[in-house]
Amino acid sequence: MTDWTWLVPLPVVVPLSAAGLALALYRRPTLQRVVSVVALIVVVLVSAALLVLADDGPLVVDVGGWAAPVGIDLVADRLSALMLTVSATVTLCVLLYSLAQGQEDDEESAPISIFHPTYLVLTAGVANAFLSGDLFNIYVGFEILLAASFVLLTLGGTRERIRAGTIYVVVALLSSILFLVALASIYAATGTVNLAQLAIRLPEIDPGVRLVLQVLLILAFAIKAAVFPLSAWLPDSYPTAPAPVTAVFAGLLTKVGVYAIIRTQTLLFPEGRLDDVLMWAALATMVIGILGAVAQDDIKRLLSFTLVSHIGYMVFGIALATDAGWTAAIYYVAHHITVQTALFLVVGLVERAGGSTSLTKLGGLAKLAPVLAILFFVPAMNLAGIPPLSGFLGKLGLLEAGVQVGTPLAYVLVVGSVVTSLLTLYALVKAWNKAFWQVPEEERPPVRLPFGMVGPAAALIVFGLGLTVAAGPLYAYTERAADALTERTPYVEAVLPDGKRGKGVSVDVTEEAAHGGEAGEAGTDAAGTSGSAAVRTDVAEVGG
């Protein structure tokens, strides 16, 4: 069999190199566009290939040839590959949309010379966070995507965007520092930040310390994922950015946080001692988020609140901590990335046709732009979970998983998610009625919606429908992904085949194996204190 592992780093390397190239070509906007589009197409193709390949087992690359716990490794297992494929597709569609928007409007709304490199860096950061098999590298991935998102959110530096950006940046920095503290504590307790090695070592440390580490990590990720009560920053900051930027943020950034929660909960802390807390958090996120959405007048803010609310569904699935729960949660993430991004893109078009995002001011769009009405209706119903769309399937999976668990708390969550789903339907139907059917305050001239913007939005909606049509195989795929997450061994064994070292070459590796046996034992015994002898010899090789 051919070795396909060389594909694994590409989703990170290609956009990063392309970002450099795009930056160098800042005087040649046309070439810049070509570079970005080609780079993202390559990423989509590679991700799709990884999706197929990872089904036979995780693909592991020890970066730079350094064996796993010493060097950094990238791992593409089913979960990562699926996330990567969906996110790559979404980013490509949003890029095409923003290209058309850039052509329609002048540079004002999206200064292209900055937009392209930053957007590519964002893509690379997201891919890095998905692929990384090393906790510190996940941190780096987060920082890459955050730094890029800061720039994208404050594009143009207008009053409103600076205001929104301030809140976003400060909250993001806080969560990064929490993550750093968590990393330092984990290193102090276990002497490693490699996920696979952590999975082996964490069960051996003091349960109290383990709980502290888990809480720290969950806090850091929950801010990123906007889980209530750490979600207040999101509806404040997202709606002000340009439509494509909001769309890609809404689709991807919170889901990176959700992915990180899934990964750490399943791989590092399988005993699930925080599951009840997570359940309550999920319930609060769902209900309070959607009540916020119901109260809104601005459609972008309304969607931001539904975004928060639906994060609750994924946390619900994770907190159930059963195969069925994880299966549904992973499927729901894939569904939600697509549908939420599509909705924000369509709202960008609504703003264009209606001249506003306020539901009081909008109106009569069904007559002005019938295509837009369909484009809004389908993903809106999909988000609310109307059968047979993918939102319904995801929610049904979650409900089933909840009933299977059968604890009173799980039943409360089941009821909560049904209520949330109904309220989502209410909020979206209200938006639909107001924006498309109410008599507008003033007649607006009919607008031509550029095909370049309608096309990608439509493509994304079709992709979302594809998730429905292909739900059988896809659900089976997420089920296999969840199985692997429960087992944990496939991931650990793929990274550290003999339990100690990855496949990469490193100096002294044979020597290490000879006497590293005892040292390794000593290391895990001494875990809980800090920096053991074994770890020190390990890391010495990095310097050498």
Partner 1 sequence: MSPNIVLVVAIAALFTVGVYLLLERSLSRVLIGVILLGNGANLLFLVAGGAAGRPPIVGATPEGQMTDPLPQAMVLTAIVITLGLSAFLLAMAYRSWQLHRHDEVQDDVEDRRIARLAAIDERATTDDDTEGTGSRIDEEAASIRDETDEGAPARPAGEPARTAGEGER
Region binding partner 1 by CB under 8 A among candidate stretches 35-43, 167-175, 263-271, 348-356: 167-175
**Which candidate, 348, 345, 342, 336, places its Cα nearest to that of 286?**
336
* Residue nearer to partner 1 on the CB measure, 343 or 534: 534
CB 492 within 8 A of CB 88: no
Question: Of the candidates 180, 209, 211, 274, which one interacts with partner 1 according to CB under 8 A?
Answer: 180
Residues making up the chain, counted from first to last: 544
Give the separation between CA 488 and CA 202, rounded to whole angstroms: 13
* Residue nearer to partner 1 on the CB measure, 1 or 439: 439
Residue 154 contacts partner 1 per CB under 8 A = yes
Region binding partner 1 by CB under 8 A among candidate stretches 7-15, 81-89, 178-186, 262-270: 178-186
CB of residue 124 to partner 1, shortest distance in Å? 15
Residues 385-424 that bind partner 1 (CB under 8 A): none
Strand-pairing partners, residue 132, are 74
> What are φ and ψ of residue 57, in 5° steps?
135, 155
**359: Cβ contacts below 8 Å, ≥ 6 apart:** 296, 297, 298, 299, 302, 430, 431, 434, 435
> What are φ and ψ of residue 469, in 5° steps?
-65, -40
**Which candidate, 182, 304, 298, places its Cα nearest to that of 232?**
304
* Residue nearer to partner 1 on the CB measure, 233 or 316: 233
Question: Of the candidates 263, 434, 500, 501, which one interacts with partner 1 according to CB under 8 A?
Answer: 434
Residue 426 contacts partner 1 per CB under 8 A = no
Q: Is 59 helix (H, G, I), strand (E, B) or coil?
A: strand
**Which candidate, 208, 206, 183, places its Cα nearest to that of 195?**
183
- Specify the DSSP class assigned to residue 157: G
Give the separation between CA 521 and CA 527, rounded to whole angstroms: 10
Count of residues in contact with partner 1, rule CB under 8 A: 60
Number of neighbours of residue 486 by Cβ within 10 angstroms: 13
**503: Cβ contacts below 8 Å, ≥ 6 apart:** 60, 62, 67, 68, 497
Residue 442 contacts partner 1 per CB under 8 A = no
Residue 476 contacts partner 1 per CB under 8 A = no
Give the separation between CA 243 and CA 16, rounded to whole angstroms: 23
Query: Nearest 5 degrees, angle CA 378-CA 95-CA 458?
Result: 20
Question: Of the candidates 116, 201, 301, 335, which one interacts with partner 1 according to CB under 8 A?
Answer: 301
Residue 359 contacts partner 1 per CB under 8 A = yes
Q: Determine the straight-line distance between the first and last CA of the chain, rounded to whole angstroms.
A: 34
Residue 162 contacts partner 1 per CB under 8 A = yes
**499: Cβ contacts below 8 Å, ≥ 6 apart:** 200, 492
CB of residue 470 to partner 1, shortest distance in Å? 38
CB 226 within 8 A of CB 257: yes
Question: Of the candidates 24, 38, 184, 462, which one interacts with partner 1 according to CB under 8 A?
Answer: 184
* Residue nearer to partner 1 on the CB measure, 240 or 338: 240
CB of residue 526 to partner 1, shortest distance in Å? 9
Residue 514 contacts partner 1 per CB under 8 A = no
Query: Nearest 5 degrees, angle CA 441-CA 443-CA 444?
Result: 115
Residue 374 contacts partner 1 per CB under 8 A = no
Give the separation between CA 224 and CA 217, rounded to whole angstroms: 11
Q: Identity (one letter) of the amino acid at 351?
A: E
CB 403 within 8 A of CB 410: yes
CB of residue 156 to partner 1, shortest distance in Å? 10
Residue 170 contacts partner 1 per CB under 8 A = yes
Residues 32-91 that bind partner 1 (CB under 8 A): none
Residues 278-297 that bind partner 1 (CB under 8 A): 295-297
Question: Of the candidates 9, 11, 15, 235, which one interacts with partner 1 according to CB under 8 A?
Answer: 235
Residue 356 contacts partner 1 per CB under 8 A = no
CB 481 within 8 A of CB 78: yes
Region binding partner 1 by CB under 8 A among candidate stretches 90-98, 231-239, 408-416, 451-459: 231-239
Question: Of the candidates 65, 207, 273, 360, which one interacts with partner 1 according to CB under 8 A?
Answer: 360
CB of residue 432 to partner 1, shortest distance in Å? 13
Token pair belonging to 249: 């943020």
Residue 517 contacts partner 1 per CB under 8 A = no
Region binding partner 1 by CB under 8 A among candidate stretches 18-26, 42-50, 166-174, 473-481: 166-174
Residue 518 contacts partner 1 per CB under 8 A = no
Residue 206 contacts partner 1 per CB under 8 A = no
Instruction: Please report, as ranges, the residues that interact with partner 1 according to CB under 8 A.
Output: 136, 140, 143, 146-147, 150-151, 154, 157, 159, 162-167, 169-170, 173-174, 176-177, 180-181, 183-185, 187-188, 193, 235-236, 239, 295-298, 301, 359-360, 430, 434, 438-439, 507-508, 529-533, 535-537, 539-544
